[in-house]
Structure 1
Amino acid sequence: MIMIYYEVLCYSCRQLFRVYEGSLNYKLFKENRTKFFCCEDCSHKIRIDAIKNFFRYLN
């Protein structure tokens, strides 16, 4: 079975990562290659930081 993918540059850590066919990022990359994408690790870190900052301002 052949997996089709694109190699995309993460805008946060500047590392190449693969976006596999069938994923949302693959579809978004095919539609608009000028968008910024981030790898799963950076995406998770950004999400956690946003949650922490959200709760910091609630108190």
Structure 2
Amino acid sequence: MIYYEVLCYSCKQKFRLYEGSLKYKQFKKNGNGIFCCEDCSHKIRMDAIKNFFRYSK
């Protein structure tokens, strides 16, 4: 399977982008882009959802 190893901008650890995924396609288009791993992506998304409901009252 083809993949790229990319550095996560949040936790600074290497992770793999496998062929066929959306992030893989984005990396091929823009190799200088900022990418984060699945764990960090999930944490960022959950924090955004919590903050949305906290300030939407």
Shared fold (TM-score, shorter chain, > 0.5): yes
Q: CA RMSD in A?
A: 0.4
Deviation at 1:16? 0.1
1:34-53 equivalent positions in 2, closer than 5 A:
34-53=32-51
Give the whole-Å Cα distance in 1 for the aligned partners of 2:22 and 2:56. Answer: 32
- Structure 1 unmatched ranges of 5 or more: none
Matched, 1:21 2:22: no
* 1:58 aligned partner, one-letter code: S
Q: Using structure 2 for the length normalisation, give the TM-score.
A: 0.98
How much has 1:58 moved relative to structure 2? 1.3
Question: Identity of paired residues, percent?
Answer: 77
Gaps of 5+ in 2: none
The number of residue pairs the alignment matches comes to 57
